A and B are shown apart, each in its own frame.
Chain A
């Protein structure tokens, strides 16, 4: 029946699986996010470092080209340190991406009560958080986890699978480090977007949490002559965990990797609680 024929009928067709329904939000959120051309350009720019590194890896094993630039095969050492540096660069970009994308996610749903339309359907708060979080999660994964694993795989294919077997811990380390990074950024982006509706301020606050945490941590360490201030420095916590996972810890690391991981878990737990509380208020208040 033509849609312009003003009528109404019930629906008795097939329904989608509830398991994957959170992807509906992800799809619509992606459309909204990539309406911004600036963001799209920025996102494409995030692939510069991975592409450069892939080229260097290729050169690293290409004797005929290396002769021309007076270098030997294997001039680039592919180890935990290289992946630490790579994740530091890409992690920084992920932080900026979170500051740009995060505020677009929850705030528009809260401003005019749109959230209630989601939650009055067979769709839970957990699915909402998952759906919105996966927008940031998949963007961050695409610039951190996937390129890092690709680099790992390319290096393995160039050098030989014995290298892969010897350095399998790097693969696991990359995976866990990136998942930690994704969880922290994802929850921070959503929480800021839920509590601060002005997008520019929310974005600035996401970046400020890193800077302020680092600053406060340093002040606490200096004034109280302690090392507990590092627990407020998210960047430090993330690099401590990644360093341990990639078996390349910093010299004289003031806090243990376990302690850093627990601190990050607590931080994520607090963000999740705040987010849940905020959404619950909107759920029952309409």
Chain B
């Protein structure tokens, strides 16, 4: 079995006398993991700890099997980090900036140059790669930050608020790029964002932090598939036996009001079976909804804990 992407074992981090991370226990193996939490939850401290900038006061953290206490340098060699804040050198052309980043990660100059070209083309800055970064728009700078994060072929890419400040079009481009990177299957992604929709669209797993603790872990893929089995119905012309008929199909069923039924479809039963049953019994289906327990609901519930 391969090492987890991120493994936190009672991780505690103190800054000064204040404990920011309070005993995190977590094992993440997904290809894309969303890191959520309100301001001050400890997301940045967790990222900084994974990068080796803060030492754990207790417990430990491992990234792809490397311990943050002892192997910070190896960890940084296999991580690509796209920071939330501006991170560029204004008077440097993008190509030089990305090439330098690759060289600092250990690539020889020729390979670094070749990969810098590729990375900039990949993020859509191919035509603008010789322009200085100071002349870039905010969206272009975000893409340049992404290019420097992936130029050295990292095994884990941490994206901190990747869609921050982007217009809807640029945001869509960034989301599409992240989805593409996930589909490639050559790297793991940790995405830290306040925008729940971004996490929902790109991640398989989500971790919600609050006050330095993990308050919720959610496997979004599983949630999505379980949501697809939960159906809410509104009927017309039901003589009160439709729910029983659904139960006879093998579905768990509850009547929540006149003509209102909630049911969970077991394996082998599909929505079309419900339609067929309604047609047979001459019952009108006025509404059929899949439950949509969105990440926002999950997040809000977690915040209430």
Scoring B74, B103, B124, B155 by chain A CB atoms within 10 A of each residue's CB, the highest score goes to B103
B87 touches A116 (CB 8 A): yes
Which among B88, B100, B121, B124 is the interface contact of A113 at CB below 8 angstroms?
B88
Q: How far is the CB of B230 from chain A (nearest CB, A)?
A: 37
Q: List 6 A-B contacts (CB under 8 A).
A: A3-B121, A10-B187, A14-B111, A114-B89, A117-B101, A120-B81
Asked whether B150 is an interface residue with its Cβ less than 8 Å from the other chain, the reply is yes
Residues of B82-117 at the interface with A, using a CB-CB cut-off of 8 Å, are 83-92, 96-97, 100-101, 103-108, 111, 114-115, 117
CB-defined contacts of A62 to chain B, threshold 8 Å: none
Chain A, residues 146-173, CB within 8 Å of chain B (1/0): the string is 0000000000000000000000000000
Binds B, one of A16-24, A85-93, A136-144, A260-268: A16-24
Interface hit among A65-73, A75-83, A104-112, A213-221: A104-112
Q: Digitize B64-87: 1 where CB-to-A-CB distance is under 8 Å, 0 elsewhere.
A: 000000000110110101011111
- A153–B167 Cα distance when bound, in Å, is 65
Asked if B118 and A7 sit within 8 Å, CB to CB, the answer is: yes
Verify B153–A120 contact, CB threshold 8 A.
no
When C-beta atoms are compared, the residue in chain A nearest to B77 turns out to be A122
Query: What distance in Å separates the Cβ of B142 from its nearest Cβ neighbour in chain A?
Result: 13
Q: Are B90 and A13 in contact (CB under 8 A)?
A: no
Query: CB distance B105 to A122 under 8 Å?
Result: yes
> A9-B186, A13-B111, A120-B76 are known contacts. Are A113 and B83 too (CB-CB below 8 A)?
yes
Please give, as numbers and ranges, the residues of chain A lying within 8 Å of B53 by CB-CB distance.
119, 283-284
Interface status of B48 (Cβ within 8 A of chain A): yes
Closest beta carbon of chain A to B191's beta carbon, Å: 16
Complex CA gap A3/B116 in Å reads 9
Contact of A284 among B48, B74, B126, B186 (CB under 8 A): B48
Contact, CB under 8 Å: B73 / A11: no
A117 touches B87 (CB 8 A): yes
User: Within the complex, which residue of A16, A118, A122 is in contact with B74, where a contact is CB–CB below 8 Å?
Assistant: A122
CB pair A11 B100 closer than 8 Å: no
> B178-202: contact bitstring with A at CB < 8 Å (1 yes, 0 no)?
0011001011000000000000000
Cβ contacts under 8 Å, A24 to chain B? 100, 103-104
Q: Contact between B83 and A116 (Cβ–Cβ < 8 Å)? A: yes
Q: Say yes or no: A286-B108 contact (C-beta < 8 A), given A109-B89, A112-B90.
A: no
- Chain A contact residues: helix, strand, loop or mixed: loop
Total A-B residue contacts, Cβ distance less than 8 Å: 129
- The answer to whether A120 touches B118 (Cβ under 8 A) is no
Evaluate contact between A123 and B83: CB separation under 8 angstroms.
no
Give the bracket for the number of chain A residues in contact with chain B.
35 or more
A14 to B111, CA, bound (A): 9
Residue of A nearest to B106 (CB): A15
Please give the distance in Å from B132's CB to the nearest CB on chain A.
Answer: 11
In the assembled complex, how far is the CB of residue A199 from the closest CB belonging to chain B, in whole angstroms? 11
A121-B88 contact, Cβ under 8 Å, with A13-B108, A28-B100: no
Shortest CB distance A282–B (Å): 10
* B51 interfacial by beta-carbon distance below 8 Å: yes
A21 touches B104 (CB 8 A): yes
Is there an interface contact between B107 and A15, defined as CB atoms closer than 8 Å?
A: yes
Query: Nearest A residue to B148 by beta-carbon distance?
Result: A117
A108 touches B104 (CB 8 A): no
Contact A111 B90 (CB under 8 A): yes
**CB <8 Å contact, A108 and B91:** yes
- Closest residue of A by beta carbon distance from B111: A13
The answer to whether A8 and B150 touch (CB under 8 A), given A112-B86, A283-B53, is yes
Contact, CB under 8 Å: B51 / A120:
yes
Other contacts beyond A120-B79, A121-B101: 13, CB < 8 A: A3-B118, A8-B118, A13-B108, A13-B111, A15-B107, A16-B107, A28-B100, A116-B83, A117-B83, A118-B104, A120-B83, A121-B76, A121-B152
Determine the residue in chain B with the shortest Cβ distance to A24.
Answer: B103
* Assembled-state Cα–Cα distance A226/B17 (Å): 44
B54 in the interface (beta carbon within 8 A): yes
**Chain B residues, CB < 8 A from A6:** 121-122, 124, 126
Give bound CA distance, A34 to B97, whole Å.
17
CA distance A120 to B63 in the complex (A): 14
Most buried by A among B83, B96, B104, B115: B104
Question: For the complex, is B44 an interface residue (Cβ under 8 Å from A)?
Answer: yes
- The answer to whether the Cβ of A259 comes within 8 Å of any Cβ in the partner chain is no
| Minimum Cβ distance to chain B for residue A265 (Å) | 29
Q: With the chains together, A50 CA to B261 CA distance in Å?
A: 96
- Residue from B74, B81, B89, B150 whose CB has the most chain A CB atoms within 10 Å: B89
B84 touches A286 (CB 8 A): yes
Residues in A with CB closer than 8 Å to B81 are 120
Instruction: Compute how far the CA of A11 lies from the CA of B115 in the bound complex, rounded to whole angstroms.
Output: 9
> Taking the complex as formed, is A32 at the interface, i.e. its CB lies under 8 A from any CB of chain B?
yes
Q: In the assembly, what is the distance between CA of A15 and CA of B90, in Å?
A: 28
A140 to B130, CA, bound (A): 32
CB neighbours (8 Å) of B100 from chain A are: 24-25, 28
User: Hey, what's the 0/1 contact readout for B121-161 against A, CB within 8 Å counting as 1?
Assistant: 11010100000011000000000000010101101000010
